[in-house]
């Protein structure tokens, strides 16, 4: 893995930070991208990654990111991980501003970053023989659920974006991978979704035996990219055993029915 470089967005916490850590353990050069410089700096101190501060909903910031990467070396893989949800409102009661934000970060930012960095990935594939674009979506982009509203809509759109991109890049040595996690217990996702209400955030995972952790998704991401270049995991859906579906989660000890 010497001299291979990957960009990970949403790197300041959760799945993004765990992915940065694992790529570094595996010998990759990693550029973590997020808005919060203090968290990125701490991650860089811990792992030896480099970082770039950017708000991916800003076209100027993404242009600056692409210019920085062009000036500092090749790029072999992109992990589009930045995303998020707000609330559990119905479609009828949904706040259009919340929907707008969810589309900006889950869909438009993915398109913007992918478009800006694709020329770098193409260039590196000439020497390395391949490149990768991996996008973290969600099971919410595959199965609708009550209260999903804007998040379902945004993740369904992100899923479509990935599928179309794979068709558009057919014939090029660039893998397009989608990782769709279900219930993942991280320090911020549900807290952000519920406006900082820790009790509501904790209730999501209450009684669930072994919800997925950020490190579980990081393992999947890194494995997908480190497979032989001719092997493409188009879609990986990953859920804890306790989650049979978005609407069906077992709470309590998992026990065989004898």
**Alpha-carbon distance 51 to 30, whole Å?**
8
Residue 1 has pLDDT above 60, yes or no: no
Return the DSSP state at 139.
Answer: G
For the residues 192-221, what does the mean pLDDT come to?
Answer: 82
β strands within the chain, DSSP E: 5-9, 29-34, 50-53, 77-80, 131-136, 174-181, 184-185, 212-213, 235-238, 243-245, 248-249
- Has 205 been annotated as catalytic? no
**Per-residue model confidence (pLDDT) at position 194:** 59
Q: What would the two tokens of residue 243 be?
A: 């989650």
Residue with the bigger pLDDT between 139 and 205: it is 139
Q: What would the two tokens of residue 44 be?
A: 């860089």
- Helix (H) or strand (E) holding 59, with range, is helix 59-72
Helix (H, G, I), strand (E, B) or coil at 23: helix
Which of 150-154, 190-194, 228-232, 244-248 is least confident? 190-194
- At 188, the pLDDT band (50, 70, 90 cuts) reads low
pTM confidence score:
0.93
Q: What does the pLDDT look like over 19-41, one tens digit per residue?
A: 999 999 999 999 999 999 999 99
Helix (H, G, I), strand (E, B) or coil at 210: coil
Q: What does the pLDDT look like over 83-117, one tens digit per residue?
A: 998 888 999 999 999 999 999 999 999 999 999 99
Helix (H, G, I), strand (E, B) or coil at 124: helix
């Amino acid at each position: 893995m010497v001299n291979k470089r990957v960009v990970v967005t949403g790197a300041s916490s959760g799945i993004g930070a765990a992915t940065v850590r694992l790529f570094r353990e595996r010998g990759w050069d990693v550029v973590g991208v997020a808005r919060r410089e203090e968290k990125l700096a701490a991650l860089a101190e811990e792992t030896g990654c480099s970082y770039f501060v950017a708000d991916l909903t800003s076209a100027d910031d993404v242009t600056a990111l692409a210019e920085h990467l062009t000036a500092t070396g090749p790029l072999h893989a992109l992990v589009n991980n930045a995303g998020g949800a707000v609330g559990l409102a119905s479609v009828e009661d949904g706040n259009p501003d919340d929907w707008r934000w969810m589309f900006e970060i889950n869909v438009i930012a993915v398109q913007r970053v992918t478009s800006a960095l694709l020329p770098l990935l193409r260039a590196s594939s000439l020497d390395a023989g391949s490149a990768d674009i991996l996008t973290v979506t969600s099971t919410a982009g595959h199965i609708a659920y009550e209260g999903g509203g804007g998040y379902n809509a945004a993740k369904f759109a992100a899923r479509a974006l990935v599928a179309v991109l794979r068709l558009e890049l057919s014939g090029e040595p660039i893998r397009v991978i989608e990782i769709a996690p279900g219930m993942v217990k991280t320090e911020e996702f549900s807290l952000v979704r519920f406006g900082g209400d820790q009790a509501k955030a904790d209730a999501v995972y209450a009684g669930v035996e072994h919800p997925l952790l950020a490190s579980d998704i990081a393992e999947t991401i890194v494995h997908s990219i480190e497979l032989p270049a001719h092997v493409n995991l188009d879609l990986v859906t990953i859920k804890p055993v306790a989650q049979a579906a978005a609407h069906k989660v077992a709470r309590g000890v998992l026990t065989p029915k004898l």
